[in-house]
């Protein structure tokens, strides 16, 4: 494949100029909208939806204050962040999308959820409505179906805030993490800026799957100052996207990031949309609109969606709005804003404004408005009472939803990569039954990409260069840049977009060059990827793999040599794989790609040139199954990744002394096959765990604990750990050599365990 562009020196004097960012261009009225094609039913729908959003959140205030007469003394718990005053953004935006378009939301996202559901229901078929309701209904009664489905929607949304089993996420997420995937709602997010990259990744999936969808990524003004904002903007605006990235970043600027004021305090820009000029010549089509006017938001989002659908995304919109309440229900907002300011914004109230538009356009009368308000209030009352009396989750179900129990093993043939989609020839079959671990990685990736066209590979330098360890070399020549592409040095964006892409239908394999770099992406890995499925009620599938390396032994020192597998292993929701041999590397990587859960696949830099059995036929190695690599009777030695090779060498050396060592390779840390290790310990009576990570807090400590819990009565001596010292990996050869467990140190640990 040719490189993208030649970069030649050019030092001609000149200056950089930027296109202007339009502000508040829409000045239309509802009457003009009706004349241009908006029908009266749509106008009423926007008003009704804003009512549902406003009354839904006002109900939370009443409950928190104990002022809801139908539930006297009811105690509402949970962190709740209200968007009262911001209804025009939620309703205007959702009304402009297609029903099956995707959204990501924020911790202040009740309105987004209510509005997204409302508009999905409007576009659903009668059969879809009946399935959503879930009880016996008259499938031919469209009006009745819509009314019933809307009540079910509000019930489920309110039940989630109450932490109930009937909630959209089974009470696992609550108000800050509400989602409903079959409506295209990929989830609200309690981490400020957390969904930026998820939205970009979901949009990439929409493009590569060719489904015509866009992803609307709603973020607060505070999120724009987070590093992931820059990373996501840059990722979405990469020049290599030939069809653009169909994502709309919509900044819901309510003026305060908690209490920090954007204008004049925590930034020095008048409009956050200015930042679009830093990412492409089109300013990301940046625009500022009134977030107190639902029609203005609707107009802007409709135009943005059209840009995205025609290959001109991404788009950056800023909607200026205001939250009437404090950041949370414990914030009385008096310490950081004035009553004068608040009055001025309330005079622009979105709901009052739209009501006046309905009256002025002759769409509504005062009596009709009153009826609609009463009907909306009744629905919210019903939803509240439903939620209050709904089911508390059964404590015995606490693990439900953590992992999916499905894979793509039984793949529909339609997903196979067609021969005509390949841009180059496949390599000739490798001769012989042996191969390098590096070859095992390449072959596994190639075979899975051929098997399933939803598998894509991206990361730093994985395309032309083939990755820092040549593990992806040659894949670009076969599959082209549609499926193998470089990203910026932007670990949070790499991981976060993989999360969004997996949620939206792809099976991404993302590469982080060294596991040290995963610390740059810990929010995306730990708060987003790991928690996603469980937090959203076990509904999501996240078939993604993050390939990375651990190291040591090459003099790379403290920031390129760490063994941080314990860091990711302690995050429930991730599977962690640590292969050693060529055979296991290929089989486990293929199994990981087919798994419907996120997998952190950890390769060791020193194993890439190890040679071993490597069949050419298709096979997988199941996750969560350890392997007894060498039989023994005196002591069980557990070692994974590169330490596996040193464990075998130690066993060989001790055999000459008459000591019989059984070597067990866990292969995967999460899930950990405790049973196989415990069975070995029951036979040998002793346990030594060796690993390259520092001793304190390492995963080896967990292995020792887990085995002692299962086979304590069989142990004839305390379990022993042979590990690195509690220092960052040093560069100097004598120190690095001392730090990494050697064959001699392993042998010494075994002798001590045997009492010799």
Residues 599/545, Cβ–Cβ less than 8 Å: yes
Residues 686/715, Cβ–Cβ less than 8 Å: yes
CA pair distance 502, 509, nearest whole angstrom: 10
> Nearest 5 degrees, angle CA 339-CA 291-CA 212?
155
CA pair distance 748, 23, nearest whole angstrom: 72
Give me the helices (H) in 134-195, please: 142-161
- Non-local CB neighbours of 395 within 8 Å, separated by 6+ positions: none
The distance between the two most distant Cα atoms of the chain, rounded to a whole number of Å, is: 98
CA pair distance 570, 526, nearest whole angstrom: 9
Residues 321/351, Cβ–Cβ less than 8 Å: no
CA pair distance 344, 337, nearest whole angstrom: 12
Which is catalytic among the residues 112, 560, 604, 702? 560
Chain-centroid distance, C-alpha 501: 8
Helices 294-309 and 40-64 cross at an angle (nearest 10°) of 110
Q: Name which of 693, 692, 635, 685 is nearest 664 in CA terms.
A: 635
Looking from the CA of 420 toward its CB, the CA atoms found within 13 Å total: 0
CA pair distance 638, 644, nearest whole angstrom: 8
Chain-centroid distance, C-alpha 436: 33
Task: Enumerate the β-bridge partners of residue 289.
Answer: 319
Residues 220/257, Cβ–Cβ less than 8 Å: yes
Handedness of CA 32, 38, 40, 43 (dihedral sign): negative
Handedness of CA 77, 81, 86, 90 (dihedral sign): negative
- Non-local CB neighbours of 467 within 8 Å, separated by 6+ positions: 459, 461, 473, 511, 513
Residues 447/195, Cβ–Cβ less than 8 Å: no
First to last CA, the chain: 61
Asked about 177 being catalytic, the answer comes back as: no
CA distances from 156 to 62, 76, 102, 380, 390 (A): 19, 16, 19, 11, 10
Q: Provide the b/e sequence for 17-50 (b: ≥16 CB within 10 Å).
A: eeeebeeeebebebeebbeeebeeeebebbbbbb
Active site residues: 560
């Amino acid at each position: 494949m040719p490189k993208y562009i030649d970069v030649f020196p050019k030092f001609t004097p000149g200056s950089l100029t930027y296109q202007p960012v339009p502000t508040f261009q829409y000045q239309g009225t509802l009457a003009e909208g009706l004349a241009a094609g908006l029908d009266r039913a749509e106008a009423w729908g926007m008003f009704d939806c804003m009512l549902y959003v406003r009354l839904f959140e006002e109900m939370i205030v009443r409950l928190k204050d104990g002022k809801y007469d139908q539930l006297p003394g009811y105690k509402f718990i949970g962190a709740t962040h209200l968007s009262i005053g911001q209804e025009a953004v939620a309703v205007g935006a959702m009304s402009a999308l297609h029903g099956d378009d995707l959204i990501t939301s924020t911790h202040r996202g009740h309105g987004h959820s209510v509005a997204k559901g409302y508009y999905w229901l409007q576009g659903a078929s009668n059969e879809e409505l009946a399935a959503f309701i879930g009880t016996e209904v008259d499938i031919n009664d469209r009006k009745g179906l819509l009314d019933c489905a809307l009540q079910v929607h509000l019930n489920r949304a309110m039940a989630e805030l109450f932490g109930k089993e009937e909630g959209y996420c089974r009470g696992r997420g609550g108000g800050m993490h509400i989602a409903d995937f079959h409506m295209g709602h990929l989830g609200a997010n309690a981490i400020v800026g957390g969904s930026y990259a998820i939205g970009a990744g979901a949009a990439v999936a929409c493009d590569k799957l060719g489904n015509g969808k866009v992803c609307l990524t709603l973020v607060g003004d505070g999120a724009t100052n987070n590093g992931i904002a820059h990373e996501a903007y840059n990722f979405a605006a990469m020049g290599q996207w030939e069809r653009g990235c169909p994502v709309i970043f919509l900044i819901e600027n309510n003026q305060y990031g908690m209490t920090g004021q954007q204008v004049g305090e925590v930034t020095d820009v008048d409009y956050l949309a200015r930042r679009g000029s830093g990412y492409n010549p089109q300013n990301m089509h940046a625009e500022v609109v009134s977030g107190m006017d639902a029609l203005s938001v609707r107009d802007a989002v409709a135009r943005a969606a059209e840009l995205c659908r025609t290959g001109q995304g991404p788009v950056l919109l800023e909607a200026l709005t205001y939250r009437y309440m404090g950041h949370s229900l414990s914030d009385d907002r008096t310490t950081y804003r004035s009553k004068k300011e608040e009055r001025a914004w309330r005079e622009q109230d979105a709901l009052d404004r739209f009501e006046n538009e309905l009256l002025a356009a002759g769409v509504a009368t005062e009596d009709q408005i009153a009826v609609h308000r009463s009907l909306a209030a009744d629905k919210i009352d019903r939803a509240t009472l439903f939620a209050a009396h709904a089911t508390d989750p059964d404590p015995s179900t606490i693990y439900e939803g953590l992992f999916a129990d499905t894979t793509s093993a039984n793949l529909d043939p339609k997903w196979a990569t067609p021969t005509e989609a390949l841009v180059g020839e496949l390599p000739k079959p490798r001769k012989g039954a042996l191969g390098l671990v590096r070859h095992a990685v390449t072959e596994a990736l190639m075979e899975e990409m051929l098997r399933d066209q939803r598998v894509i590979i991206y990361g730093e330098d994985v395309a032309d260069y083939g990755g820092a360890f040549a593990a992806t070399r040659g894949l670009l020549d076969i599959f082209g840049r549609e499926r193998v592409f470089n990203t910026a040095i932007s670990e949070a964006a790499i991981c976060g977009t993989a999360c969004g892409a997996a949620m939206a239908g792809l099976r991404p394999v993302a590469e982080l060059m060294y596991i040290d770099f995963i610390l740059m992406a810990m929010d995306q890995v730990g708060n987003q990827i790991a928690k996603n499925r469980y937090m959203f009620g076990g509904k999501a599938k996240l078939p993604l793999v993050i390939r990375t390396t651990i190291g040591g032994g090459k003099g790379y020192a403290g920031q390129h040599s760490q063994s941080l597998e314990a860091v990711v292993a302690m995050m429930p929701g991730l599977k962690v794989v640590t292969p050693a041999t060529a055979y296991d590397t290929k089989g486990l990587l293929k199994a990981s790609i087919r798994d419907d859960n996120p997998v952190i696949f950890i390769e060791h830099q020193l194993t890439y040139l190890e040679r071993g059995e490597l069949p050419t036929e298709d096979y997988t190695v199941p996750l969560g199954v350890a392997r007894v690599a060498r039989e023994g009777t005196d002591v069980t030695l557990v070692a994974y990744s590169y330490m596996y090779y040193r464990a075998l060498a130690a066993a060989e050396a001790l055999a000459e002394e008459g000591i019989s060592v059984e070597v067990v390779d866990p292969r995967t840390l999460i899930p950990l096959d405790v049973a196989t290790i415990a069975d070995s310990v029951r036979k040998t009576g002793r346990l030594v765990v060796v690993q390259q990570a520092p001793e304190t807090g390492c995963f080896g400590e967990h292995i020792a604990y887990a085995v002692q819990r299962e086979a304590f009565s069989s142990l004839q001596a305390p379990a022993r750990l042979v590990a690195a010292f509690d220092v960052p990996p040093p560069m100097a050869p004598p120190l690095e050599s001392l730090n990494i467990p050697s064959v001699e140190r392993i042998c010494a640990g075994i002798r001590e365990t045997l009492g010799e």
